[in-house]
Copies of this chain bind each other. A is one copy, B any other.
Amino acid sequence: MHITQHTDYALRVLIYLASNEQRLVTIQEISERFEISRSHLMKVVNQLIRNGFVEGLRGKGGGLRLARPPQQIAVGDVVRRMETDLALVECFHETSRCLLTSTCQLKGVLGAALEAFFASLDKVALSEVLGPSQRALLHVLKRAP
Contacts and interface: CB of A to CB of B under 8 A. Distances in A.
A114 B117 contact: yes
Given A1-B1, A131-B102, A8 B90 contact: yes
Interface in A117-145: 117-121, 124, 128-134
A129 B106 contact: yes
Q: Label chain A's interface by main secondary structure.
A: helix
Contacts of A75: 106, 109
Interface residues of A, number: 53
A118 B16 CA distance: 30
A1 B105 contact: no
B105 A116 contact: no
